[in-house]
Amino acid sequence: MGEHGFDLPPKATRDVMDRREELADKACDALVQAGLPAYRGTSQGRPGANVQVDPLADGGVLVEWSTQEDLATTAADLLESGVDPSNLPHAIRYYETVQTCMRDAILQILASAGFHVGRADAHTYGSAVHVKGRNF
């Protein structure tokens, strides 16, 4: 048990993390080569494909699309204020459409570049793409 009385999820080994870092670099390079703004590390409000490595044992390489900050903030503010889910405001629908389209585009681009990809667990990772490996 951890210090606070609950078990923490196990972390990946150093060897696994090294392989994930290499895979993340290659995925980021493939996205840049395709013409998408892509980067590693923290987003710091930059739009584009953020390629990260999850250190948990069952984690992996994740690619998440970030919009301009004002679009994401507008959608979040509207959700916080309370909206009717059957009649979402345009800004929320627009944000969700952008996220879905970019996730699908990233999936297809990385797959065509030789990566084994899929949708990440939405409950844990939202609309991220899970890069599972490389086919060659």
Domain boundaries, the chain: 14-67+102-134
pLDDT band at 124 (very low <50, low <70, confident <90, very high): confident
Please tell me which residue, 86 or 27, carries the higher pLDDT value: 27
Closest CA to 96 of 70, 71, 116, 114: 71
What is the mean pLDDT of the segment spanning 70-92? Answer: 90
pLDDT above 60: residue 111: yes
pLDDT band at 25 (very low <50, low <70, confident <90, very high): very high
Residue 101: what pLDDT?
Answer: 97
pLDDT above 60: residue 130: yes
Asked if residues 81 and 122 have their Cβ atoms less than 8 Å apart, the reply is: no
pLDDT above 80: residue 4: no
Kindly report the average pLDDT of the chain as a whole number.
Answer: 90
User: Can you state the percent helix, strand and coil of the chain, rounding each to 5?
Assistant: 45, 20, 35
Burial group, residue 61, by CB count within 10 angstroms (0-12, 13-18, 19+): buried
Q: Helical H runs in the chain?
A: 14-33, 69-81, 90-112, 122-125
* CA 136 to each of CA 25, 33, 51: distance values in angstroms, whole numbers, following the listed order: 15, 17, 20
3-class state of residue 36 by DSSP: coil
Residue 5: what pLDDT?
Answer: 63
- In terms of average pLDDT, the best of 21-35, 66-80, 117-131 is 21-35
pLDDT band at 3 (very low <50, low <70, confident <90, very high): low
Residue 1: what pLDDT?
Answer: 45
Strands 48-53, 38-40: parallel, antiparallel or unpaired by DSSP? parallel
